Structure formats: structure tokens, C-alpha cells
Structure 1
């Protein structure tokens, strides 16, 4: 059996492999304004529970897993429409395209498919700032990319190496900026 990888780790890795390694290999975590907002926003949806509204069962904080891929996690919200799970991942910021978020949501769908034995064709990213959803179709490309990312995560965990910094726009709001030191690490790479 594969050592399980947390679904949220897919988002970390897809956003920045160095951020992933700092969190999951080096065990570094720093909060900032954005992570604090995220914690507060997720408090409600991470409390397991549910209700039925207009024939749709809604579950909060649902534990999810996939033995085939080796994933574990917790879905923010899963709506069951005619028995078909529809995952809804909550995001704090404005409605914005982020591939890392789509991969995290797709990983949730793969878990739900294995757990419930039904195809999960789509889900949504819910943006709290705008209070709007962006629907995501779980294409074969997204599904394949999740499996590729999970394989890369396993390799990185096995190697225990810290990838080089990106030193780009992603760094600006990263809570791990001081621990990562992207500018200093980039200078060392270019001079070393």
C-alpha cells in the first residue's frame, strides 16, 4: 500500500515545489495575513456535518481517500446530486484561475469516484470574496496531471531534497518567503 499523500499537498506542490518541500519535508510553516484568512474561512467547512436542501445532500468536512493513487484528505463541501458527488473547494481570495486549485479539486474527485463507485465529472471552486463559483470539468488532462504530480511528490519525498526557489510573482504573498529566501537562494544559484 502506498504511503498516503494529503490532497492539499497537491495544491502546495503545483503552486511551488519549493513551498511543498519546505512544508512537507523541512516541516516549516509560517502564517501570514493570507493563511490566517484561509484558516478562519475554513473553520466552518472543516467541521463534519451535513444537511439536505431541495433534494441535494450537502456534506461538510468529508474525509476522502484513494487507495489506488494513495491520497487522503478532507473535502470542504461535497454536494450529492442524484447520488453523484460534486466537490466544492472553498478559496478565500478573489475569483482567479489557478491550475494548482484545479488539481486539488480534481484529486478530490478521484477520491470520491473510488469511494462511491461513480464517475464525478465536475465540481466547483467557490471564492469567498466574490461569493461565486467557477465550475471545473474533470478532463482526462487534469486527471493525468494529478497522477503525474502525485508521482513527482513521491519522488521529491523520497529524495528529501529542497528544490530551487522560483523567485517570481508567486513569492510576493507566500507565508514562507522568509524561510525560503528566494532572492538569496537565486543569487547563490547564479554565482555558484
Structure 2
């Protein structure tokens, strides 16, 4: 498999969070740590090991590598629980449960990859949010699947274009590790002046 043109699943999360962040990270290769990145890395330390374990009638595969030849995406799912012919992809995130569509898209894309690899339909996945210490179930509805595939295509197309403008969601900019490189406030100011 020549995977040089396969979009990593983690960058799909970045695309939905902010197209400009995606461009900085994926196209330009800029990565900066902040407290959110460091905390996420710290919380992932126990699940970043490849492992297969059995708990009752479930088999849990940690750090499961998947890809889709059709969508040209690839990545690692934090965990996949298998019970009979039912597969449930699981991602671990540092925040709190909410409507984090960037997380939903990443999880759905992982499920689409897993479906292609196994031939099994996957109805839902789960995201474990450390902030609540709970799992949030994400149904893979036809709408979410379609929107995820559209996001993959939009992200792929953005690679060959100029950098997107800053988003208007200032809370995302405030929490972004790339804020001091991206300079969204300053760029928005200059855009208004021209």
C-alpha cells in the first residue's frame, strides 16, 4: 500500500476543529505543545501501547491500525472492542462530553476504515471523555457518514489551496496550541483594514 496520499485520521479532527489549524499542521508541518496537548498526551499514556486483552466475552484491541483505500485515510483507533461480530471503535479524549463534531468525524472515519477492513457494518462508536470519566455513544447515522466523507474530501482539496482565513469561533482560537503562530486576531484585524 502506497500511503503517501492517505490523510491521517487525526488531521480530520483538526480539519473540523479549524481548517486553518489543519493547514498549519498538515500542510506546513507546524506543531506546538500547550497545556491541552500535554494533558491529552499524559492521559493517553496508558492506552498508547499495542495490546489485545480479553474481558469476559469481549476482546479489546488497543492502538488498532486501520485504513480505507476508498477514502484514502489511515490512522490508529485508540481501542476497538469486539463482541461476536459487533465491532465498537473507541477514542479517548481529554475534554468533557458535548457536541464535539471534530471528535465525531474522527471516530466515524475510523469506523468507515474498520468496516472496509472487516466487511462488518458498525452501528456506533464511543468516545471516553476524561473530563467526565464517561463514554459518549456516537451513532453512525447516514448523515454523519455522509458529512464525514465530505469533510475528508474538503480536507484533501484544501491541501492544494491557499491557507484558509481564521475562524470566527474565538474560544477555539483561545485554546489552540498554534495561536501564537496563526495570529488569528491580528489576521482578522488586517483583513478588516483592507
**Normalising TM by the smaller chain, what interval?**
over 0.9
Segments of 4+ moved more than 3 angstroms = none
Shift of 1:188: 1.1
- Counterpart secondary structure, 1:45: coil
Separation of aligned partners in 2, 1:42 and 1:146: 24
- Counterpart secondary structure, 2:120: coil
Corresponding residue for residue 100 of structure 1: 102
2:160 is equivalent to residue 163 of structure 1: no
Q: How many residues align?
A: 191
Corresponding residue for residue 193 of structure 2: 191
Corresponding residue for residue 141 of structure 2: 139
Deviations 1:165-191 (A, max 9, x none): 114221111111101101100011111
Shift of 1:82: 1.1
Corresponding residue for residue 20 of structure 1: 22
Structure 1 segment 172-183 matched on structure 2, within 5 A: 172-183=174-185
Separation of aligned partners in 2, 1:130 and 1:138: 22
Separation of aligned partners in 1, 2:99 and 2:146: 19
Structure 1 segment 31-180 matched on structure 2, within 5 A: 31-159=33-161, 161-167=162-168, 168-180=170-182
8 Å Cα contact 1:46/1:74 also seen in 2: no
Separation of aligned partners in 2, 1:66 and 1:14: 19
Q: Give the TM-score normalised by the residue count of structure 2.
A: 0.95
Deviations 1:66-122 (A, max 9, x none): 111001100001000213210111011122221111111100110110010000000
Q: Give the TM-score normalised by the residue count of structure 1.
A: 0.96
Separation of aligned partners in 1, 2:163 and 2:129: 31
Separation of aligned partners in 2, 1:38 and 1:79: 22
Deviations 1:118-171 (A, max 9, x none): 000001110112210110100011111111111111111122x21101142211
- Unmatched segments (≥5 aa) in structure 2: none
- Counterpart secondary structure, 2:46: helix
- Unmatched segments (≥5 aa) in structure 1: none
